[in-house]
Amino acid sequence: MTDRRGRQFRGTDSYDDIEPDLAVLAGMNPADHDREMLRQKIIARCVPLADHIARRFGGRGELADDIAQVARIGVIHAVDRFDPARGSSFVAFAVPTVMGEVRRHFRDNTWAVRVPRRTKEIQLMIGDAVERLAQRFGRMPRTREIAAELAVDIEEVTRALVAANGYQTTPMTPVNAEDGDETATAVSALFGLEEPRYEQVEQFLAVQPLIQRLPERERRILGMRFFEYRTQTQIAQALGISQMQVSRILSRTLTVLRDQVFAEPPPPHAPRTVLAAAWSHA
């Protein structure tokens, strides 16, 4: 069976024609019974998107059904908050909305390290800001854009982003073979296929100014590992050192970055931290 554009259906959905329904929904009277029926129809259509995203958070000590329920709540929020008048893609808005809902669930329930209250507050604010900016730009926002949206310093946003690794985690489950459908394609088109350390790559993008201040060898190893996706063995061969040395350098460098980011903010008139100094030259 094919749709009007000739694309074959495989029991899944790419959501590339859902915006007209959302536009109709936005124009209906909230008290109209037909509006609620259309809303429920749209939400039901988007459930596979929520389930797909939920599977990407598997293996973290939470029941799969619980994660799926949280993701579906995220879909409801996405349907209710989407503004079709902006002319942006629904999927570009829905994916960060659902992912934000799931990540908030983990952060609220499984914090493993002490994180300053201010950092947690900004982290909660970031979720809504990302939703707004994703709808506005049709892509995931950059750190500076999030900071501008929240009217806070970029250093505070970076602390909150890096704090994403401050809760108990296990490697993110890769996309399953059965996810090779149009739902998976719709998500991957925005974010790409996630390797097990995707979240660390995400955080390194946020602390790029700090990375630029590292010694050349450390910067090169980080780049090869997290941006060229080379294995430790491949890095060792390229640099003429042992795999164990690569492992130690990575571990030490990650610790340095984490320590710098989580350093307590200085008093208003105190000398700037390394992080603040780095951003003044970014």
pLDDT category at 164 given cuts 50, 70, 90 is low
Residue at 19 is within a domain: yes
Q: Are residues 32 and 141 in the same domain?
A: yes
Residue at 36 is within a domain: yes
Higher-confidence residue: 157 or 191?
157
Q: Are residues 111 and 218 in the same domain?
A: no
Q: Are residues 96 and 221 in the same domain?
A: no
Q: Are residues 44 and 142 in the same domain?
A: yes
Q: Are residues 133 and 260 in the same domain?
A: no
Does residue 86 carry a pLDDT above 80? yes
Q: Are residues 153 and 107 in the same domain?
A: yes
Judged by DSSP in three states, 167 sits in strand
Residue at 60 is within a domain: yes
CATH number of the domain where residue 222 is located: 1.10.10
- Residue at a domain's end among 197, 222, 250: 197
pLDDT of residue 27: 93
Q: Are residues 125 and 7 in the same domain?
A: yes
Task: State how many domains the chain has.
Answer: 2
Which conformational region is residue 135 in: left (phi greater than 0), alpha (psi within -120 to 50 degrees), or beta? alpha
Does residue 261 carry a pLDDT above 80? no
SS3 sequence of 213-245: CCCHHHHHHHHHHHCCCCCHHHHHHHHCCCHHH
What is the rounded distance in angstroms from the CA atom of residue 88 to the CA atom of residue 185?
18
Does residue 42 carry a pLDDT above 60? yes
Q: Are residues 10 and 82 in the same domain?
A: yes
Amino acid, single-letter form, for residue 154? I
What is the rounded distance in angstroms from the CA atom of residue 136 to the CA atom of residue 27?
20
Q: Are residues 173 and 228 in the same domain?
A: no
Q: Which residue stretches of 82-169 are H helix? A: 90-109, 117-137, 143-150, 154-162
Does residue 35 carry a pLDDT above 90? yes
Amino acid, single-letter form, for residue 68? A
**What is the token pair recorded at 218?**
């450390």
Q: Are residues 187 and 232 in the same domain?
A: no
Q: Are residues 78 and 183 in the same domain?
A: yes
Residue 210's nearest CA partner among 197, 201, 219, 202 is 219
Residue 174's nearest CA partner among 191, 159, 193, 152 is 193
Residue at 80 is within a domain: yes
Rg over alpha carbons for the chain, rounded to the nearest Å, is 21
- Residue at a domain's end among 172, 197, 222: 197
What is the rounded distance in angstroms from the CA atom of residue 208 to the CA atom of residue 279?
9
Residue at 217 is within a domain: yes
- Residue at a domain's end among 165, 197, 229: 197
Does residue 44 carry a pLDDT above 90? yes
Q: Are residues 167 and 145 in the same domain?
A: yes
Does residue 199 carry a pLDDT above 50? no
pLDDT category at 6 given cuts 50, 70, 90 is very low
pLDDT in tens, 206-244: 566 677 788 999 988 987 876 565 788 889 999 999 999
Q: What residues have CB less than 8 Å from 61, skipping those under 6 apart?
A: 110, 168, 170
Residue at 202 is within a domain: no
pLDDT in tens, 93-120: 888 888 888 877 776 665 444 567 787 7
**What is the token pair recorded at 48?**
């596979």
Backbone angles phi, psi at 166, to 5 degrees: -90, 15
The residue range of the domain holding 247 is 207-282
**242-254 burial string, b = 16+ CB within 10 Å, else e?**
eeeebeebbeebb
